[in-house]
Amino acid sequence: MSQRFQSLEAYVPGEQPADMEYIKLNTNEAPYPPSPGVIAAINESEIRKLFLYPNPDGTRLINKLAEFYHVGADNVIIGNGSDELLAFAFLAFCDGGRGVCFPDITYGFYPVYAELYDVPYEQIPLMDDLSINLSDYCGVNKNIIIANPNAPTGIALPLGDIEAIIKSNPEFVVLVDEAYVDFGAESAIPLTRKYDNLLVMHTYSKARSMAGARLAYAIGPEPLIGDLRKMKYSFNPYNVNRLTQIAGEVALQENEYYVKMREKIVKTRESTVSRLSEMGFLMTHSCANFIFAKLPGVSGYELYSALKARGILVRHFSKPRIADYVRITIGTDEQMDRLCNEIALIRTR
């Protein structure tokens, strides 16, 4: 391996053990399948066309996304998951002279990309209650990445705070990663028409039940999207495959299905929060499809391990500030019943 990457610490995705069948509450996927039209659209006739490359621009899907979000086609780019679009953003906007900042506790891929692309980065500590302190991000003179709602806390910033950050850093790009926005926060997409330094990123992996298809998009002013496009065409022009492009279009047409699905997930989240707090758990205020919870007297790792032994996967992070917590993806009502029942048994052990 090249010298410069020997000490790189790669991102570690949520585990997918194959030794038994688990209830998988560790990677924030939706617990429900894609909408019926998506399933029908990935049919034999489309599969037969797989000998052809996909449309590299993703023109049809981009036009549909533009229409859906009331922006122009030049304001949208699609990617192979937000992870790929994030990589393009690091390449396009950051270098030794233009570093980046993000919270110390946030999506674990941000520091990995900063290391990979040799970008100076600052990890700004969240406050003691794990929320973002707005003034820490005003006038920082660096590019900024904010996950809103944040992960793994689920805490959302109001749109007014996001706007204050954008306004106070006019010479730098503010990337708002809205992977979980549809579960209870306000999107900054309308602000992309007003500010030339704002990029908003969405994924189909969570609120549109398509983590396995790998699809995401960024929306922003045309010059920033053009820069991302340049990266894409210098890296992998056919980054979104044919079947995924079709699935992405149909999912937009069937938006109502996903709105209902999200309502159901939010309802399940709220009932799980009540049950866990009755059992003595402390949680951050989650606006996402997961909860971040700790049980005083039981370490996060103990809880994670005990649940895994009982067939339920949740995510534990060993970072000292959050080592007491586990992140639990909201599954179906039945899955959350199982979770609560197993936790009750663990507590009385």
Least CB distance from residue 109 to ligand PMP, whole Å?
7
Token pair, residue 305, equals 């391990």
Residue 103 binding ligand PMP, by CB under 6 A: no
Residue 35 binding ligand PMP, by CB under 6 A: no
Q: Got the DSSP string for 314-346? A: -B----GGGTT-EEEE---HHHHHHHHHHHHHH
Residue 249 binding ligand PMP, by CB under 6 A: no
Among residues 35, 143, 192, 205, which is the contact residue for ligand PMP, using CB under 6 A? 205
Residue 179 binding ligand PMP, by CB under 6 A: yes
The answer to whether residues 228 and 62 touch, using CB atoms and an 8 Å cutoff, is no
Least CB distance from residue 14 to ligand PMP, whole Å?
8
Using the contact rule CB under 6 A, the part of the chain among 61-69, 80-88, 97-105, 304-312 near ligand PMP is 80-88
Name beta bridge partners: 78.
217
Residue 29 binding ligand PMP, by CB under 6 A: no
The answer to whether residues 236 and 80 touch, using CB atoms and an 8 Å cutoff, is yes
Residue 178 binding ligand PMP, by CB under 6 A: no
Task: Tell me which residue of 210, 217, 229 sits closest to 177, measured CA to CA.
Answer: 217
Distance of CA 210 to the CA centre of its chain: 12
Residues 6+ apart with CB under 8 A from 180: 28, 147, 149, 151, 154, 206, 207, 287, 288, 289, 290
Using the contact rule CB under 6 A, the part of the chain among 81-89, 119-127, 323-331, 335-343 near ligand PMP is 81-89
Q: Counting every residue, how long is the chain?
A: 349
Residue 82 binding ligand PMP, by CB under 6 A: yes
Shortest-Cβ-distance residue relative to ligand PMP: 81
Residue 203 binding ligand PMP, by CB under 6 A: yes
Residue 335 binding ligand PMP, by CB under 6 A: no
Using the contact rule CB under 6 A, the part of the chain among 35-43, 67-75, 77-85, 228-236 near ligand PMP is 77-85
Question: Is the C-alpha dihedral spanning 335, 336, 338, 339 positive or negative?
Answer: positive
Least CB distance from residue 173 to ligand PMP, whole Å?
16
Among residues 71, 92, 105, 147, which is the contact residue for ligand PMP, using CB under 6 A? 147
Using the contact rule CB under 6 A, the part of the chain among 4-12, 75-83, 128-136, 138-146 near ligand PMP is 75-83
The answer to whether residues 119 and 193 touch, using CB atoms and an 8 Å cutoff, is no
* E strand intervals along 180-311: 198-203, 216-219, 282-283, 290-294
Residues 208-247 that bind ligand PMP (CB under 6 A): 211, 216
**What number of helices (H) and strands (E) belong to the chain?**
11, 12
Least CB distance from residue 216 to ligand PMP, whole Å?
4
Residue 81 binding ligand PMP, by CB under 6 A: yes
Residue 166 binding ligand PMP, by CB under 6 A: no
Least CB distance from residue 165 to ligand PMP, whole Å?
17
Phi, psi for residue 135 in degrees, rounded to 5: -65, -20
Angle subtended at Cα 72 by Cα 67 and Cα 76, rounded to the nearest 5 degrees: 90
Cβ proximity to ligand PMP, 177 vs 249, nearer residue:
177
Token pair, residue 56, equals 């590299």
Judged by CB under 6 A, the number of residues near ligand PMP is 12
| Residue ranges binding ligand PMP (CB under 6 A) | 81-83, 107, 147, 151, 177, 179, 203, 205, 211, 216
